[in-house]
Structure 1
């Protein structure tokens, strides 16, 4: 009684297909995959940004008078 039989899983699958439809499930999974890829890309960009900055306690940083190109 603690585990589900194959008939339970088939009934659940039929209900899910009725609710979402055959075409909607692959569309949802594609959207989930795009979201995961975007998340991983954002994490990778964040890690590269933080790795390039080094802080040392014995140095003070003064703002430079040069113009910074923001492109």
Structure 2
């Protein structure tokens, strides 16, 4: 009673295909596969860059990051 038989899964699969269509499911699968591949490639590249060049002075790196995120604005009062 707790598990589904193969017939239950086939009916669910048939309903999903009827609702979404095969073309949309195919595009969804290829997009998901491309995203996973891009994530894996990014993890490989990020790991190689971090291991090969450690920062010489962490304080300079943190100061440079702070300068990039700081926005300088001037407030004016309405008359």
Q: TM-score, normalised by structure 1?
A: 0.69
Residue 5 of structure 2: aligned partner: 5
Q: Which has the higher helix share?
A: 2
After superposition, the CA RMSD in angstroms is: 1.8
1:67 maps to none
Indicate the structure whose relative CO is greater, using CA pairs within 8 Å and at least 6 residues apart.
2
Partner of 1:27: 27
Compute the TM-score of the two structures, normalised by the length of structure 2.
0.62
Following superposition, which runs of at least 4 residues in structure 1 exceed 3 angstroms of deviation? none
- State the number of aligned residues: 57
